Chains A and B, each alone.
Chain A
Amino acid sequence: MNIINIFITSFLIENVILTKFLGICPLIGSSNNTKKALGMGITVTIVTVISSICLYLINKYILIPTNTTYLITIIAILIIASIVQILQMIIKNKFKNLFMSFGIYLPLVTTNCAVLGTVLLGINNNYNLIEFLFFSLGSSLGFLFILYVFSAIRMRLQTAKTPSCFKNYPIALITIAIITLIFTRYI
């Protein structure tokens, strides 16, 4: 029961993008096409889940016994960067078109604050391994869900009549603000 609670909370109620405002850069940058958004969301999901498991094990078995928990941020960055490197090689060799369409945004998953924020928040909340797994899975799937919805809206917006001063990024930011209001039930 607790696990389902954590999953739903991190997926919708405390969504990474809508309530914590993490990962806005890939949200704006890679959401002009639904396929690209789906690829980016799946990449972020894989990176978050693997790095959270690695970081939990390192934190529990190396950092806490030696009393060096202040190293958690830099080790998190190291782990995320190396996982992104490996994933980049796999995508480059197996999914060539996806690699071309990502461009600079694939190496930028390293500095994606949605990944780092999820991992560090999970460590701070003192979850056990299963809870932590569901927390990171819920957060990253929430990111994927909002990215996909937002990219579908943006594809529709490209054909809509917008005033010239609102074209591209301003209307995208206004749209994400309205989605936030809907999902955080202020309307």
Chain B
Amino acid sequence: MIGIIILTSVAFILSIIIVFSSNKIDFVSKIIELLPQYNCGRCGYSNCEDMAHHILENKENVKKCPFMKEENIEKINQINN
């Protein structure tokens, strides 16, 4: 019984740490979710994931995507800041 309690509590603490750190670190996945997901290549990069990396490097790259909605641009700018 005590083994089960220890194992679940350790797993619970570790999962909290992972979720917390993913909110702090993982900006690329958040930006990919806000992109249109067409993978069309109109921005000049090979796909939306590649585009997300370049947006992190330079904010101005958001404007290269012709399908972006205004609200998503604001959200991405918030993440970048």
Residues of A whose CB lies within 8 Å of any CB of B are 58, 62-63, 66, 68, 70-71, 74-75, 78-79, 82, 85-86, 89-90, 92-93, 96
Q: Does B56 contact A (CB under 8 A)?
A: yes
Assess whether B73 is interfacial by the CB under 8 Å rule.
no
Contact of A71 among B6, B14, B17, B53 (CB under 8 A): B6
Contact A66 B26 (CB under 8 A): no
Among A62, A79, A89, A96, the residue within 8 A (CB) of B22 is: A89
Q: Are A93 and B56 in contact (CB under 8 A)?
A: yes
CB within 8 Å for A96 and B6 given contacts A78-B14, A86-B18, A90-B25:
no
A63 touches B6 (CB 8 A): yes
In the bound complex, CA of A89 to CA of B52 (Å): 14
B interface, over-half SS: helix
**A82 close to B28 (CB less than 8 A):** no
CA distance in complex: A118, B50 (Å): 37
- B residues apposed to A, CB below 8 Å: 2-3, 6-7, 10-11, 14-15, 17-18, 21-22, 25-29, 53, 56
CA distance A122 to B15 in the complex (A): 25
CB distance from B67 to the nearest CB of A (A): 23
Contacts of A71 in B (CB 8 A): 3, 6-7
In the complex with contacts A89-B26, A92-B28, A82-B17 CB distance below 8 A: yes
**Given A93-B56, A96-B53, CB of A75 within 8 Å of CB of B3:** no
Chain A to chain B contacts (Cβ below 8 Å), 30 pairs: A58-B10, A62-B6, A62-B10, A63-B6, A66-B2, A66-B6, A68-B6, A70-B3, A71-B3, A71-B6, A74-B7, A78-B10, A78-B11, A78-B14, A79-B14, A82-B14, A82-B15, A82-B18, A85-B18, A86-B17, A86-B25, A89-B21, A89-B22, A90-B25, A92-B26, A92-B28, A92-B29, A93-B27, A93-B56, A96-B53
Chain B, residue nearest A75 (CB): B10
Q: Which residue of A lies closest to B27 (CB)?
A: A93
Nearest 9 pairs of A and B residues by beta carbon? A82-B14, A89-B26, A89-B25, A68-B3, A96-B53, A86-B21, A93-B28, A82-B18, A85-B18
